[in-house]
A and B are shown apart, each in its own frame.
Chain A
Amino acid sequence: MSDQVADQIKEEIRRYVLSEFLPGEKASNLGDDTPLRTSGIVDSVGLLRLIDFVEERYRIQVDAHEAGVENFDRIEDIASFIKKKRQAGA
C-alpha cells in the first residue's frame, strides 16, 4: 500500500470520526495521533460503529481481540491496522 493510499485512509477515517463524534470540529484539530478511545471522544458504543465503518469500507474483518486501544486509539494506528489486515488478506 503506497503512502498515498495510507494518507487517503487516514483522511477517510478522520472525516468519519469528525462527522460521527465531533460534529462542528475543524479537521485540523483532529490529528493522526489524537487519542480517540482513551480521551473519551469515542466511547464503547462509538467504537462498535467505527469498527462497522472500517469493516465495510475496507472489506476487512476485525476480531474482538483486535478491537483494543493498540489498534483503535489513534487514526494512525487504525490506518496501519487496516494496512496490515489488507496485506494479510491479499
Chain B
Amino acid sequence: MAETSYPAVNLCEYLEDSADRLSGRVAVVDPDGSSVTYRELNDRANRVAGFLLERGLQPGDRVGLVQPKSVTGVCAIFGILKARGAYVPVDSTAPPARIRSILDNCRVRALFSDLRCAEVVADVETVVVTGPRAERDLQNLPQGAFAWEKVLESAPDRAEHASRHPDDLAYILYTSGSTGIPKGVTLTHRNAISFVEWCSSVFNPDEHDRFSSHAPFHFDLSILDIYLPMKHGSSLYLISEELGKNPAKMAAFVASNQLTVWYSTPSILSLLAEFGDLKQYDFSDLRLVLFAGEVFPVKHLRNITRHWPSPIYFNLYGPTETNVCTYARIPTPVPDDRTQPYPIGWPCSHCSAVVVDDNKEPVPDGEEGLLYISGPSVFAGYWGRAEETAPAFLERDGCRWYNTGDVVKQDPVDGFIYVGRRDRMVKRRGYRIELGDIESALYRHKQISEAAVVAIPDADAGVKILAFVTTLHDAPPSIVDLKVFCSKALPAYMSPDAFLFQNSLPRTSTDKVDYQKLQNESTLKLESSKNMG
C-alpha cells in the first residue's frame, strides 16, 4: 500500500508552523492561570532541544517526563521531539517503584521531573528538576541535576531540522502488563500525525477553539489534546490532577474559560453530570464533546447530554496501540428508553478494520469476532518485548493487522458494536488494567499465599474489581491493611474494590485457577459481604 504523505514529518512542526503564523496567540494555559504564546512555547522548546543535544542526546533516545501537568511539561515535550528524542511520560503520583521500573525498562537518557520524583531515580545521566521554584530554592538539588530555569537561560537555541524522519520514535506510553511489569507501547511520529490529521478533517478546529486537556500526559487521550490544538493555533487549557478530580470546580473552569472542545473518559463526564452542579453555568461555547477509553453507561451519557444539549458528541474507540481507530457520532437527545450502550462505529478514514474468527478468517456481519486494525497509526511494537509484539499482529494482504483483543460484531447501519474481551484485561476510568498485574502486587504481601482477581460489570462504576485471597496464617490481614498495601504498590485506579478471603482457590481439571467459577460467584459474594458489613 502506498504511504500517504502528511503535512508534517515530526510532531513539533505543528508548533513551529503555528508559531510562524500566529506567534502572539495563546498556545497553552497552565493550571496556575499563566500562559505562553506560540512564539514563547516554540522558543523555550528550542532551548530544551539545544540543551539535550549539547548533552549528547541521539535520535531515538528516551527522555522521561515525571511531573504534574504544566506548561513546563509541554515545553519539555516539544523540546525532546525537536531534538529527535522520544518522551516517556510517567504518572508522577504512581508508587516510586513503578516509576523506577518504567524509567529503567526503556533506559531513559535524560529526565524532566519535579523534586520528589527526581529523588526516586538514581542513575539517569541528565536530570532537569522542574516544579515550583520556591520549593527548589529551599533544598539542594540532587547531585548533578539541572534547574529548569538554567536550561532556558543558558542553553543554545537549536532544533534538529535536517534529519527528521516520520518513523522516528516520538513517545512511549506504558500500560498495565499481565505479569506486573508495565508494558511500553512505542509510537512514531507517523503514528501520531496520521491520527491528528484525521482528527483535523473530522472536527475542523481553528485558532479560536479552546481545548480542554483533562487526561494526564501518560494517557493516550493526551495525544489529541496536545497536538490537535497546536496544529490549528488553538489554545490548550491544562487541567491539573487536583482540579480534574473535583467536578464542581471543573464545571466552573469549563464555563469561565469558555472551552469549545472537551475530551475525556466517560467516567469524568459522568462525574461532571452527577456532581458538577452544571445548571448554574453557561456552556454555550462548548461545540464538541469527545469521549473515549471505556464504555459509556447510557444512563450517565443521557445525563450529561441533558445538561449539555448543544454540543456534538463523538464516541472515539481505540487501544493505545492504534490510537483512535473507529468512531461514532452520538445523536442527541439520548432516547429515554435506550439502555444499550452506543456502538463504537466505523473505522476512521486512515484505518482499516476486520472482524475475524478463531481461525483468523473474516466473519459475516452480525457475528462476533476479534477486531483487527491496520493503518499508519498502528504502533511499532512493545519496548524490549519482541516476544509479545509478534503475536499481537497478523500479516495479511501485505498489511500488518493489530489484534485489539476486543470482541465486536458489525451492524450494517451502526458499524461496530463492542461486545467484550476474552482475556484478563479490563478498563476502569479509561485505564487499562491487566488483572494479573494486581495479582502480582498481592503476591508481594507477606501474609498472602494465593491471589486471584476478577472483574464484574457494574452499572455505576463500569466494573468492580474483586480480589480472592488465601492467607498463610490463621489470622488473615485486615481489609484495611490490604487496601493500604495496595495503595502503596499500585496506582489508585488498580486497587481492588473488595477482598474476599478463601480457604483455597477453585481449580480447573488442569489445576489452573478457575476464574470462570470465581466470576460466576462474585456478584453473589459481593452482595452478601456488603450485608455483613
Interface presence of A87 (CB below 8 A): no
Residues of the B chain whose Cβ atoms lie less than 8 Å from the Cβ of A30: 480
A26 engages B492 (CB within 8 Å): no
Interface presence of A2 (CB below 8 A): no
Compute how far the CA of A27 lies from the CA of B495 in the bound complex, rounded to whole angstroms. Answer: 21
- Partner of A39 from B247, B249, B483 at Cβ < 8 Å: B483
Q: Which of the candidate stretches B121-129, B204-212, B364-372, B525-533 sits at the interface with the other chain? A: B525-533
Q: How many A-B residue pairs have CB under 8 A?
A: 69
Compute how far the CA of A22 lies from the CA of B495 in the bound complex, rounded to whole angstroms. Answer: 12
Using CB atoms, name the residue of chain B closest to A28: B478
Residues of the A chain whose Cβ atoms lie less than 8 Å from the Cβ of B246: 64, 67
Could you tell me which residues of chain A, from 15 to 33, have a CB within 8 Å of some CB in chain B?
15, 18-19, 21-27, 29-30
B479 engages A25 (CB within 8 Å): yes
Residues of the A chain whose Cβ atoms lie less than 8 Å from the Cβ of B498: 23-24
A64 engages B249 (CB within 8 Å): yes
Interface presence of A48 (CB below 8 A): yes
B275 engages A24 (CB within 8 Å): no
Residues of the B chain whose Cβ atoms lie less than 8 Å from the Cβ of A22: 479-480, 483, 533
* Contact of A24 with B492 at beta-carbon distance under 8 Å, contacts A19-B533, A39-B483 already known: no
Residues of the B chain whose Cβ atoms lie less than 8 Å from the Cβ of A52: 275
Compute how far the CA of A45 lies from the CA of B495 in the bound complex, rounded to whole angstroms. Answer: 13
A29 engages B478 (CB within 8 Å): yes
Compute how far the CA of A29 lies from the CA of B477 in the bound complex, rounded to whole angstroms. Answer: 10
Q: In the complex, how many residues of chain B place their beta carbon closer than 8 angstroms to a beta carbon of chain A?
A: 32
Compute how far the CA of A26 lies from the CA of B53 in the bound complex, rounded to whole angstroms. Answer: 58
Using CB atoms, name the residue of chain A closest to B429: A45
B271 engages A43 (CB within 8 Å): no
B533 engages A40 (CB within 8 Å): no
Using CB atoms, name the residue of chain B closest to A47: B245
A40 engages B530 (CB within 8 Å): no
Using CB atoms, name the residue of chain B closest to A38: B487
A48 engages B271 (CB within 8 Å): yes
A19 engages B248 (CB within 8 Å): no
Residues of the A chain whose Cβ atoms lie less than 8 Å from the Cβ of B492: 40, 43-44
**Per-position binary interface string of chain A over residues 28-62, scored 1 when its CB falls under 8 Å from any chain B CB and 0 otherwise:** 01100010000111011100100010000000000
| Minimum distance in angstroms from A50 CB to a CB of chain B | 12
Residues of the A chain whose Cβ atoms lie less than 8 Å from the Cβ of B247: 48
Using CB atoms, name the residue of chain B closest to A67: B246
* Contact of A41 with B484 at beta-carbon distance under 8 Å, contacts A24-B498, A48-B247 already known: yes
A19 engages B478 (CB within 8 Å): no
* Contact of A39 with B533 at beta-carbon distance under 8 Å, contacts A24-B498, A24-B499, A64-B246 already known: no
| Minimum distance in angstroms from A53 CB to a CB of chain B | 13
B495 engages A43 (CB within 8 Å): yes
Compute how far the CA of A43 lies from the CA of B495 in the bound complex, rounded to whole angstroms. Answer: 10
Residues of the A chain whose Cβ atoms lie less than 8 Å from the Cβ of B481: 29
| Minimum distance in angstroms from A57 CB to a CB of chain B | 17
A48 engages B484 (CB within 8 Å): no
- Partner of B483 from A15, A26, A40, A67 at Cβ < 8 Å: A40
| Minimum distance in angstroms from A37 CB to a CB of chain B | 10
Interface presence of B52 (CB below 8 A): no
| Minimum distance in angstroms from A30 CB to a CB of chain B | 6
Compute how far the CA of A21 lies from the CA of B429 in the bound complex, rounded to whole angstroms. Answer: 17
Compute how far the CA of A15 lies from the CA of B530 in the bound complex, rounded to whole angstroms. Answer: 10
Compute how far the CA of A23 lies from the CA of B456 in the bound complex, rounded to whole angstroms. Answer: 15
Residues of the B chain whose Cβ atoms lie less than 8 Å from the Cβ of A27: 533
* Contact of A39 with B526 at beta-carbon distance under 8 Å, contacts A24-B499, A29-B480, A64-B246 already known: no
Residues of the A chain whose Cβ atoms lie less than 8 Å from the Cβ of B41: none
27 contacts between A and B (CB under 8 A): A15-B533, A21-B483, A22-B480, A22-B483, A23-B526, A23-B532, A24-B499, A24-B532, A24-B533, A25-B478, A25-B479, A25-B533, A29-B478, A29-B479, A29-B480, A29-B481, A39-B483, A40-B486, A40-B492, A41-B483, A43-B495, A44-B245, A45-B429, A48-B274, A48-B275, A64-B246, A64-B249
